[in-house]
Amino acid sequence: MERSRAWEVMDTDCLSNIFRRLDVDDRVLAIPFVCKSWYHASIDPLCWLLLDLRPLDFMPRSPFALRFTKEYSLQPFAFTFSGFLKLVVHRSQGLASHLMFPLVFGPSLDDLVFSSKKCSSLKTLVLPRLEQEAENQLPELIKHWKDLEELEMESKPSSFLELVAQISVHCDKFSGLKMFGHIRMEDSWALVNSLPKLKCLNLSKSCMSKEELMVMIEGLREMESLIVNECIGFQVDDEVKRRSLSIQNFEYEGCELRVDDAFDTHEFDCLHVFGLWG
Amino acid sequence: MVGVKKKMVTLVSSDGVEFVVEKRVAEQSLFIKNALNEGGVEEKVMIPIPKVTSDTLSSVLEYCEKHASATEFQENEIEEWDKEYIEKADLDLLYYLLQASYSMSIMGLMELGAKKVASLIRGKSPQEIRELFNIKNDFTPEQEEEIRREMQWNYE
């Protein structure tokens, strides 16, 4: 019978189901130019729920930037991260559930404010290290992301305590946090007091002592996964293991008490080692 | 104690071929499951499957049969089976499997097929995609320009 397949007349729903699995660059640079019906399927907001911008190189003269500039006949050097962000966010029509910013050439304060207003359905947000201005504003923006479940940050922001407080007020479903930095006692207590229902916590490559770790293990009673690989400042001894028995997934590979014997653990500032704070 | 008699249903493809399968196999399709529930008929049910030819339906049922018995296998065994199943489908069959899984509401098969097609598209230029899927470029130059212009306002 009709043995002539016709990919251009496939149901739009079928097509957009395929397209939403593609990387963002395929969705922007290839699919819309294939044929009319693919173009129409490609602008279905359901194709744009997942906005993972991490694999893309936003450097001004990167192959991706050049290809985009050529494909869309932009003025030379007109390509910007902000422009691209606007495009993909516009496509999602407010339905985006995952927004993952690239680690290099990440969002300015304006980009963050824009995302908070236009992506109010976000469940997962991945942030690179932010500029000071954006870091300071981050807690203010949290109220726009009421559905937020997971937050991943390249480093612990200086506004961390305020951030946690805002998450506690506005994000009922919040359950997962990933970041690294210097975890102080007040940070541990902030997590325990403000986010007692946290299920997944990943603090790999952080700097903290056993005391700070124990506060979280004891205080976060619903924790299912705790990952503290390659941390500095403690070692997982029998006591830690015993107290953490109720945590289904506890990973602690490569933890070290200290980096250099010349330093006293309590005074030693690991941030210099990681070069986090310049 | 009555001997356990398997409940069977008959599916009829768009080209009129009948497939007699166990009810639990057919019910991998939500479309069929709903049809059976609505009908309230227990035996000798005939269900026409519109727009799905016998070649395609036979492949769809192979999938349904495996997944109706999924609990008998390890999870990775099913994954392996899925992988092989979709690997051996050519582009024609993939197309019909996607359409069929969509119209018959078989979520797992839809996922599997969509993933496979996405992997074929990844990283290709529009021209390469057209060649692979035998698609005609039906844009006029003006329409292509329109898409570009729509994109450009983001940069103004």
Q: Residue ranges of the domains in chain A?
A: 175-278
Interface test with A, best of B57, B101, B151, B152 (most A CBs within 10 A): B151
- Among A229, A226, A230, which Cα is nearest to A218's? A226
Residue B75: the pLDDT is 81
Strand residue runs (E) in chain A: 50-52, 98-100, 124-127, 150-153, 176-178, 200-202, 225-227, 249-251
- Report the pLDDT value the prediction gives residue B44, as an integer from 0 to 100: 57
Q: What is the number of domains present in chain B?
A: 1
Least CB–CB distance from B102: residue in A11, A72, A84 = A11
Spatial distance between the Cα atoms of A120 and A143, rounded to a whole number of angstroms: 9
- CB neighbours of A199 closer than 8 A, spacing ≥ 6? A175, A176, A222, A223, A224, A225
Cite the beta strand spans of A113-248 per DSSP E.
Answer: 124-127, 150-153, 176-178, 200-202, 225-227
Tens-digit pLDDT profile for residues B80-103: 999 999 999 999 999 999 999 999
Are A237 and A261 in contact, with CB atoms under 8 Å apart?
A: no
- In which residue ranges of chain A is pLDDT below 50? 1-3, 261-278
DSSP reduced 3-state for A232? strand
Residue B128: CATH number of its domain: 3.30.710.10
**What pLDDT is attached to residue B100?**
95
For chain B, the C-alpha Rg in angstroms (whole number) is 20
Q: What global pTM score does this model have?
A: 0.86
- Burial code of A85-94, b = ≥16 C-beta within 10 A, e = fewer? bbbbbbbbee
Q: Does B141 contact A at CB distance below 8 Å? A: no
Sheet holding A98-100, edge to edge: A50-52, A98-100, A124-127, A150-153, A176-178, A200-202, A225-227, A249-251
Residue A101's alpha-carbon distances to A124, B39, B108, in angstroms, are 11, 51, 30
Structural domain range at position B94: 8-155
Q: Which of B117, B136, B144 sits opposite A33 (nearest CB)?
A: B144
pLDDT tens for each residue of B113-146: 999 999 999 999 999 999 999 999 999 999 988 8
Using CA atoms, how far apart are residues A154 and A136, in angstroms rounded to an integer? 15
Residues 36-65 of A with CB under 8 A from B: 36, 38-39
Q: How many CB atoms lie within 10 A of CB A14?
A: 21
The answer to whether residue B73 neighbours chain A at the CB level (below 8 Å) is no
Tokens 């001004």 belong to residue? A60
Contact status of A84 with chain B (Cβ, < 8 Å): yes
Please report whether residue B96 resides in a domain.
yes
Indicate whether B3 belongs to any domain.
no
Candidates A34, A58, A64, A68: best to mutate against B (most CBs of B within 10 A) is A34
Work out the number of other CB atoms within 10 angstroms of the CB of residue B121: 22
How far apart CA A185 and CA A168 sit, in angstroms, is: 18
State residue A53's pLDDT score.
96
Which CA distances in Å does A258 have to A131, A182, A233? 29, 13, 5
Residue B3 main-chain phi, psi, to 5 deg: -60, 140
B125 touches chain A (CB under 8 A): yes
3-class DSSP state of A11: coil
With CA atoms as reference, report the closest residue to A126 among A23, A211, A197, A54.
Answer: A54
In a domain, B2, yes or no: no
Q: How far apart are CA B9 and CA B31, in angstroms?
A: 14
Identify from B53, B129, B142, B153 which residue to disrupt to test chain A contact, counting A C-beta atoms within 10 A and taking the largest count. B129
Rounded to the nearest integer, the mean pLDDT of chain B is 89
Position B77 scores a pLDDT of 92
CB B46 within 8 A of CB B3: no
d(CA B67, CA B6): 17
Q: 3-class SS at A182?
A: strand
Contact between chains at B130 and A35 (C-beta distance less than 8 A): yes
Distance CA B102, CA B49 (A): 12
Which pLDDT belongs to residue A142?
Answer: 97
Q: Which residues contact B48 (CB under 8 A, 6 or more apart)?
A: B11, B12
